[in-house]
Amino acid sequence: MTDAYKSLEARFRRINVLSDIGGMLHWDMAAMMPNGGANARSEQLATLDVMANELITAPDMGDLIEAAGGENLDAWQKANLAEMKRNWVHGTAVPSDLVEKMSLAATSCEVAWRGARADNDFAGLLPKLQTVLDLSIEAGKAKAEALGTSVYDALLDQYDPMMRSDRIDSLFAELESFLPSFTAEVIERQKSEAAPISPTGPFPVSVQNKVGLDLMQAVGFDFEHGRLDISHHPFCGGIPDDVRITTRYDENDFTSAIMGVLHETGHAMYERGLPGTWRNQPVGKARGMTLHESQSLLVEMQASRSEEFLTYAGPVFKAAFGGDDAAWNAGNLHRLYTRVEPGLIRVDADEVTYPAHVILRYRLERALIEGDMKLADLPGAWNEMMGKLLGITPPDDRDGCLQDIHWPSGAWGYFPTYTLGAMAAAQIFAAAKKAKPEIPAALSRGDFSPLMGWLGENIHGKASSKSTDEILIEATGQPLGVSAFKAHMENRYGG
């Protein structure tokens, strides 16, 4: 190992630690911090971001990367160096003063979003959101020049390295070639079938919390290295050795919270499964948000809505909430959790209509980033596209364009990874069951260990040592595509 490479490892370790501190502060801001702490927290996070940026943009960083590239490194070290260079290109494209402005604006806007959504006040949020958008475009332009991409693709690259909008357009077009008619057929057929029995509440928050904790443990969550809390928007944060997940509760509907917990636990298992040897290096990070979302959706949608898992979960729910035995029957729960009906809220959507929610956001954020739409026109454009894609119109902005935290927090370019992740989840789960035929039977006992063992070896443990497609090809035999997702849809929802 060369002096140049050793120096880079030391520097990126420090950069990563600063990022970890920011991650913990972000979790606290969402789950614990009183609103009065927002200004101080904005300054804290901005200071950390500037410190990290100054480290990565040090004048000799490029020379160190070039020198290390000419030395004898093993495969993981080479992959680490490639990730260092990618981070360096992103980092040097944006000046420190813009990094600070973006951090301050995003933190301020995220806190303001909480009140704006509760008050259904898009107009009140608009000035702060406009600032976040303008700064994101400014940063995107700088990164686009460095990467040789469009502005939108430069922002997308932050969340899904090497993914480009032309490929997304192709994948989404393939989805749209069958999903609308398929969705209509499923809805029509389900209308002719006996409706599933809905368990009756109320479902006390304390009991929902206990059930969520029990299911997290079944999946394999290590409570010595993480915890569950409440926030306005469910998320997985923290760091790999201290994973913080959140959910939100409704005493009239336990499903949203429980499935939210399972979704975020999938994220947490990915983080915990990253190789400890490379914990503070770029190569030790999760590969990108397509694979990250694949892990959450695999747990929530592929595994936890399977009839096998519901055979286990039904008695758990019955013991916790009581009520009609027939409602907690695995077959009834499966019909309930595979019920297809267009809804307003993305995080509560069934997996058949979910892609439409993502396609809507993808098209709108691209239009905003590319200057084809004014931010002030977002509510009307949102409602119009909801009508076209899902046949429903939000009664207000609270359940329309204000429902997600992503844009207020500055996460422009993130949304398409949800549906890309759903495609990858179907592909990965099919491959896992083929390699480990005992997985379905294990799920019926509430045992995720065969599935998690396979994922640990084939997905989690690979971290960022390879590209998304390379990881998928090795694990499933194919690059990211639509065919496995379509087969899953037809198998679970087809007549």
The catalytic residue positions are 264
Q: Among candidates 381, 378, 403, 348, which has minimal Cα distance to 117?
A: 403
Q: What are phi and psi of 199, to 5 degrees?
A: -55, 145
The Cα 94–Cα 348 span in angstroms is 36
Q: How far is CA 418 from the centre of its chain?
A: 6
Q: Please name the residue that has the structure tokens 């849809």.
A: 489
Q: Among candidates 305, 389, 300, which has minimal Cα distance to 343?
A: 389
Kindly give, in sequence order, each residue whose CB lies less than 8 Å from that of residue 45, ignoring residues fewer than 6 positions away.
22, 25, 26, 103, 107
The Cα 114–Cα 200 span in angstroms is 30
Q: Please name the residue that has the structure tokens 């260092």.
A: 84
Kindly tell me the burial class for residue 50, based on how many C-beta atoms sit within 10 Å of its own C-beta (0-12, 13-18, 19 or more). middle
The Cα 345–Cα 256 span in angstroms is 11
Residue 69 contacts residue 36 (beta carbons within 8 Å): no
Q: Order of strands across the sheet with 242-247?
A: 226-230, 242-247, 236-239
Residue 191 contacts residue 305 (beta carbons within 8 Å): no
The Cα 56–Cα 63 span in angstroms is 12
The Cα 336–Cα 194 span in angstroms is 11
Residue 463 contacts residue 287 (beta carbons within 8 Å): yes
